[in-house]
Amino acid sequence: MDYQTLLIKAMTYDSPPEIPMRCGILPAVWKERPGEMRDIVAEFPKFFGTWFQNYNYQERLSNNYRCGTRTDEWGCVWSNIEEGMEGYVTGHPVPDRRQINTLEIPPNRNGSLPHGFMWLRLLDLRGFDEAMMDYGLRGGAAGVANPH
């Protein structure tokens, strides 16, 4: 059974024969140990997929893993000091919790989020300290619409 079918079966509680999962590998590992990584992904194609077997570090390195600063489509500023490792958000575009109510989702997202989790995206947008305050003040996002 292919991965997508497994995933749909799991999401619809249709008793998939196995748990769908995938493993990702930081590009820095490919940079440092490409031969060993090829051996590992070849041995476990179910976890890594087959495309990793021909992985080329220089061709596949996305902007998320390059040194420097970039701004994503949500307005989050990412900084990275080590090529091959993922950067971290150093500029949060929603400094005031009242701005959450006017936040617009960037076009062409197709319902997807960076990280795959709304909670992490909120940390990127607001910053950890501010997001924790949001959650603590009257139930987080639910309290934003009617702050007292």
20-42 pLDDT, tens digit per residue, is 887 878 899 999 998 999 899 88
Mean pLDDT in the chain? 84
Q: Is the domain of 122 the same as that of 71? A: yes
Domain-ending residue, one of 60, 79, 100: 60
The residues with which 78 forms a beta bridge, in sequence order, are 70, 89
Q: Is the domain of 31 the same as that of 92? A: no
Query: Into how many domains does the chain fold?
Result: 2
Q: Which domain holds residue 138?
A: 64-144
Residues 6+ apart with CB under 8 A from 28: 65, 82, 83, 84, 85
Residues 6+ apart with CB under 8 A from 97: 126, 130, 133, 134, 137, 144, 147
**pLDDT, tens only, 95-122:** 888 888 888 888 876 666 777 678 888 8
63 pLDDT more than 70: yes
| SS3 of residue 36 by DSSP | helix
Q: Is the domain of 35 the same as that of 95? A: no
Q: What pLDDT, on the 0 to 100 scale, is given for residue 112? A: 66
The pTM assigned to this predicted structure is: 0.69
Q: What pLDDT, on the 0 to 100 scale, is given for residue 147? A: 44
